[in-house]
């Protein structure tokens, strides 16, 4: 069938067969389908949607447009986690080594910052020598020997997605649930996973600000991934404040190292990380219930096994062997570090989390254009969580900036992003909903 016929049928709301979708995506991959036809197809899907079986077919066709990794020589369950993006969301950095220390193999393919949200790869590039695009042999050897490797997407994995996404980005078709689902899952399925846990963020710092929309996306992801043969569940988590007490690149790596050394016990970040570790262990079959899985993950963290795994992974991928012992010797620090103070007394009751992410970009810690260079030194840390009682002039965080003028602007900006009230806010659950089949 001609590409224009496939577009016409979808434009008219007709269901597409697996064969039609497979042929269309093959054309996207080899270039026989034009950019205009890809844009028209994306817009037709945006307006008319796709049934579950169509989205499964689209996901599998995009997965099979490039290499699909095979881990049959590794005697561990192959598992991963994906986040839809947030601010101060460095969960993957700690989760991968915890899961690996518990017996999973985690070939984690991550991305760069998108919009106001931070990117795992940008954070890892704060570590001198760390190779985010290793050879296939080094990637495989690191996963096999150490249990985890966090790297970037190679051009050989799901190339159709790369082309479609670039066109969606400039045709106002990014926010289509079937297209989001296929984009996320095609890359994850190409990594050869047996199980996958999804972190779907909702709140003023997430792409999904509405709980119903977040649940719709989570259900689509879970149903399609399971339909494609990968055991998958999703947790919908709150993103109405930064997740870690840091937002930036080097500052989030420093936060990760402190976390793995046991310095973030009792925090919201710890609860989220352990919840996802437990979900991964149960879904993969290594543990039978959440309580036992949570306890196992907590032991891997408290014993130092997860910290050792992270350090070995960093070194295997080109970073310093003693990063965990001497992070200050390797992580670049900003020339100016200034306290951000509360303008009045009361309780921190709200945070414009998206604003925090944008403030990091304004400091130089993110991109306004794809070719922008990132200043890995800048950002915020020691951020106080919502519910904290403060007096006027108390520190609610610190700004790390390239110069005094940026520090002054950053401090003023951050202070204005928090709401302060006389009464403490109601506590919000970290995990709002669990979605499974």
Q: Is 267 exposed, middle or buried (0-12, 13-18, 19+ CB in 10 A)?
A: middle
| Cβ-proximal residues to 380 (8 Å cutoff; 6+ apart), any chain | 242, 246, 247, 248, 251, 340, 356, 359, 360, 397, 398, 399, 400, 410, 414
Catalytic residue from among 55, 59, 65, 83 = 83
Catalytic residue from among 6, 59, 120, 232 = 120
**3-state class of 87 per DSSP?**
coil
64 is catalytic: no
Give the span between the Cα atoms of 365 and 251, in whole angstroms.
Answer: 10
80 is catalytic: yes
Catalytic residue from among 64, 80, 122, 406 = 80
The maximal CA–CA distance of the chain, rounded, in angstroms, is 69
| Cβ-proximal residues to 286 (8 Å cutoff; 6+ apart), any chain | 77, 102, 103, 104, 293
**3-state class of 387 per DSSP?**
coil
110 is catalytic: no
Catalytic residue from among 168, 231, 376, 398 = 168
Catalytic residue from among 10, 23, 187, 376 = 187
142 is catalytic: no
Q: Is 261 exposed, middle or buried (0-12, 13-18, 19+ CB in 10 A)?
A: middle
Give the span between the Cα atoms of 320 and 116, in whole angstroms.
Answer: 30
338 is catalytic: no
The gap between the terminal CA atoms of the chain, to the nearest Å, is: 34
Q: At what angle do helices 91-101 and 305-316 cross, to 10 degrees?
A: 110
Q: At what angle do helices 404-415 and 353-360 cross, to 10 degrees?
A: 170
Catalytic residue from among 173, 183, 233, 284 = 183
186 is catalytic: no
DSSP class of residue 385 equals P
Catalytic residue from among 63, 76, 188, 231 = 188
188 is catalytic: yes
In angstroms, how far is CA 359 from the centroid of its own chain?
19
82 is catalytic: yes
Catalytic residue from among 76, 82, 162, 231 = 82
| Cα–Cα nearest to 71, from 130, 133, 121, 139 | 139
Is there a contact between 180 and 173 (Cβ–Cβ < 8 Å)?
no
| Cβ-proximal residues to 150 (8 Å cutoff; 6+ apart), any chain | 92, 93, 96, 108, 110, 120, 124, 313
Residue 224 has a CB neighbour count (10 Å cut-off) of: 28
176 is catalytic: no
Q: Which residue has the tokens 């960093």?
A: 314
Catalytic residue from among 81, 231, 264, 296 = 81
Helices (H) and strands (E) in the chain, counts: 16, 13
Catalytic residue positions, numbered: 80-83, 120, 168, 183, 187-188
């Amino acid at each position: 069938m001609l590409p224009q016929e496939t577009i016409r049928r979808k434009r008219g709301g007709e269901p597409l067969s697996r064969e039609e979708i497979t042929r269309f995506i093959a054309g996207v991959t080899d270039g026989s389908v034009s950019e205009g036809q890809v844009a028209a197809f994306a817009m037709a899907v945006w307006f008319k949607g796709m049934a579950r079986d169509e989205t499964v077919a689209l996901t599998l066709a995009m997965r099979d447009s490039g290499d699909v990794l095979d881990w049959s020589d590794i005697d561990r369950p192959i598992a991963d986690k994906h986040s839809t993006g947030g601010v101060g969301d460095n969960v993957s950095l700690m989760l991968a080594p915890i899961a690996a220390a518990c017996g999973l193999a985690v070939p984690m393919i991550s991305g760069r910052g998108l919009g106001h949200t931070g990117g795992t790869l940008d954070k890892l590039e704060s570590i001198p020598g760390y190779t985010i695009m290793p050879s296939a042999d080094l990637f495989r050897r690191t996963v096999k020997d150490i249990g985890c490797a966090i790297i970037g997407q190679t051009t050989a994995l799901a190339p159709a997605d790369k082309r479609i996404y670039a066109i969606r980005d400039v045709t106002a078709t990014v926010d289509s649930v079937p297209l989001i689902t296929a984009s996320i899952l095609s890359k994850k399925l190409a990594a050869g996973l047996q199980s996958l846990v999804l972190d779907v963020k909702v709140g003023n710092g997430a792409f999904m600000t509405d709980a119903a929309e977040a649940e719709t996306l989570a259900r689509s992801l879970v149903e399609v991934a399971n339909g494609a043969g990968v055991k998958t569940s999703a947790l919908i988590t709150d993103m109405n404040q930064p997740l870690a007490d840091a937002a930036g690149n080097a500052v989030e790596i420093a936060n990760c190292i402190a976390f793995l050394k046991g310095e973030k016990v009792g925090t919201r970040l710890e609860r989220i990380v352990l919840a996802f570790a437990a979900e991964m262990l149960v879904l993969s079959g290594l543990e039978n219930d959440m309580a036992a899985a949570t306890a196992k993950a907590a032991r891997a963290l408290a014993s130092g096994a997860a910290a050792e795994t992270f350090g070995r992974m960093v070194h295997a991928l080109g970073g310093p062997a003693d990063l965990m012992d001497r992070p200050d010797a390797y992580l670049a620090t900003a020339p100016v570090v200034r306290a951000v103070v509360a303008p009045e007394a009361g309780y921190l009751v709200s945070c414009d989390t998206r604003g925090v992410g944008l403030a990091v970009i304004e400091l130089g810690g993110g991109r306004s254009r794809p070719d922008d260079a990132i200043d890995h030194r800048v950002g915020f840390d020691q951020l106080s969580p919502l519910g904290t009682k403060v007096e006027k002039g108390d520190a609610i965080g610190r700004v790390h900036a390239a110069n005094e003028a940026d520090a002054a602007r950053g401090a003023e900006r951050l202070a204005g992003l928090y709401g302060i009230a006389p009464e403490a806010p109601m506590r919000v659950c970290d995990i709002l909903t669990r979605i499974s089949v």
